[in-house]
Chain A
């Protein structure tokens, strides 16, 4: 099926979705006449929350097309956006960067996962 047919001619998603926006299954049901891909998206999100990029990769469809289908599912409450934003810092001048607290947590998490990670003490 061509992408154009999949999205029924639409070229822009109705919701503002990022490449890393994460989606969870919601309580609603998709409307009638949805593409088979919508069921696939729901099945994937019931299993594990998924990012827009991951859904597009698994469906082998372009990101924009998947965003359009995800928008339909959001409107039907069949999907919900999982709030995972690390950058909603109250500091408006924060440049959207993760806080140093989160960076420190990431460092600890990586070291715990890979205790044998090759360290680069002289880096910098």
Chain B
């Protein structure tokens, strides 16, 4: 009979933290999927989510543009941002896991939301539509700046010009360490493959030591 006491080399021991929840409750992990309007974020979330992607709204306060600000008055505006949510359970993982997917718009005025979503995340997928490559600059700079591991996934739209991943890497000025892959956001096997690529990249980044964010960089320049 095996001893009921977990052995030190039992891999589950290392995963048990003091605040460990009710037995059997899956651990939640999250991944951010960012991209410009129409890049296929909702499609990608829906391809692997167990629920129909939910569109969720949140208020954001943003400083209004300088042009209509009154001297001495801090002009702020509240806008609404919609982002997608999907989830999937991985009961067959060595530890029961639940994965949350957050699809977020790519504009830099949503940076506050990205901070919230990125905290504690596995990493991010920047979904790229090569017809609107410029909408990927802001998310790429953001994830680089905060040191969150990310992969760039080119959503191959029917009829769009096929670029080589290296061309996209050059255009987005990506470091060689960031994976660039091509996918069809409608295909669960493709999206799962992108997520696997991200997880692999996150493991590599973690073992390379925690990335220190370049805190002084501003996104205005992105």
Contact = CB atoms under 8 A, between A and B. Distances in A.
B90 A112 contact: yes
Nearest to A21: B28
Interface stretch (A26-34, A68-76, A81-89): A81-89
Given A97-B210, A117-B192, A84 B179 contact: no
Contacts of A1: none
Interface residues of B, number: 69
Contact of A64 (B30, B59, B197): B59
A94 B14 CA distance: 15
A119 B193 contact: yes
* Chain B interface SS verdict (over half): mixed
B25 A84 contact: yes
Contacts of B29: 86, 98, 102, 106
A22 interface: yes
Contacts, number: 183
A85 B30 contact: no
A124 B17 contact: no
Interface of A: 18-20, 22, 49, 51, 53-54, 56-58, 60-64, 82-90, 93-114, 116-120, 123-124
23 contacts: A53-B56, A57-B85, A62-B59, A64-B58, A84-B26, A86-B29, A97-B202, A99-B14, A100-B206, A102-B97, A106-B93, A106-B97, A106-B99, A106-B122, A108-B94, A109-B94, A118-B187, A118-B190, A120-B179, A120-B194, A123-B200, A124-B177, A124-B201
Interface of B: 11, 14-15, 17-22, 25-30, 48, 51, 54-59, 80, 83, 85, 87-88, 90, 92-95, 97-100, 102, 116-117, 119-120, 122, 147, 151, 177, 179-181, 183, 187-190, 192-197, 199-204, 206-207, 210
Question: What are the nearest 6 A-B pairs in CB distance?
Answer: A109-B93, A57-B54, A109-B90, A123-B179, A118-B193, A83-B21
